[in-house]
């Protein structure tokens, strides 16, 4: 210990430990791959993280929204998000036929952000459509897309078991959809409290 009361080389040792810590490495945004899945809870920062990934690329950005403005509050929220993204973004809306719309808008040189899969899934459920078939069509379309796509989805299975059958069906379907998309994606990132944790990357 030196006269100042600190241990010698403490700063250097701390820097070495910080640089070797795996948790710090997860905070670095990964290079964009053809299919990226970004998971997280409500208000976790997952959508903003997905947007930053897209904006790091040189080409135009397409925001493919699955939400529907069912009331004034949702319409105001959609307008706010569109204004925040700015002029570089082109917004498309598709509440149901997501695989077909993705194939139309995913082009070389552009980045598409789909926000989000769980809203799309709820639209499919509430319209009494074949959930399994729609999800299979989406997963099958992913390898055929011509440009990079970032898919945003909620992780809804970490809380309590819902108290009604429809909510339980939605939770289970969302979990299965997330697993299927994660298996097809080249990169999977989980976002919590605004911090990304890389779950899957090529070796």
Residue numbers annotated as active site: 81
- How far, in Å, CA of 200 to CA of 188, rounded? 5
What are the backbone angles phi and psi of residue 89, rounded to the nearest 5°?
Answer: -95, 140
Instruction: Name which of 95, 96, 118, 93 is nearest 105 in CA terms.
Output: 93
Instruction: Name which of 152, 149, 77 is nearest 115 in CA terms.
Output: 152
Residues in the chain: 203
């Amino acid at each position: 210990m030196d006269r100042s009361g600190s241990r010698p080389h403490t700063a250097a040792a701390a820097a070495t430990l910080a640089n070797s810590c795996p948790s710090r490495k997860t905070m670095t945004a990964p290079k964009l791959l053809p299919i990226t899945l970004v998971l997280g809870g409500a208000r976790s920062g997952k959508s903003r993280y997905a947007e930053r990934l897209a904006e790091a690329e040189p080409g135009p950005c397409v925001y493919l929204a699955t939400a529907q403005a069912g009331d004034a509050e949702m319409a105001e929220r959609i307008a706010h998000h569109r204004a925040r993204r700015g002029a570089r973004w082109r917004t498309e809306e598709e509440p149901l036929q997501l695989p077909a719309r993705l194939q139309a808008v995913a082009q070389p040189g552009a980045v598409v952000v789909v926000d989000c899969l769980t809203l799309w899934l709820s639209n499919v459920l509430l319209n009494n459509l074949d959930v399994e078939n729609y999800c299979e069509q989406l997963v099958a379309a992913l390898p055929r897309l011509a440009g990079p796509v970032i898919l945003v989805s909620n992780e809804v299975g970490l809380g309590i078991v819902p108290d009604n059958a429809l909510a339980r069906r939605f939770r289970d379907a969302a979990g299965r959809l997330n697993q299927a998309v994660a298996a097809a994606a080249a990169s999977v990132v989980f976002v919590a409290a605004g911090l990304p944790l890389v779950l899957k990357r090529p070796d």
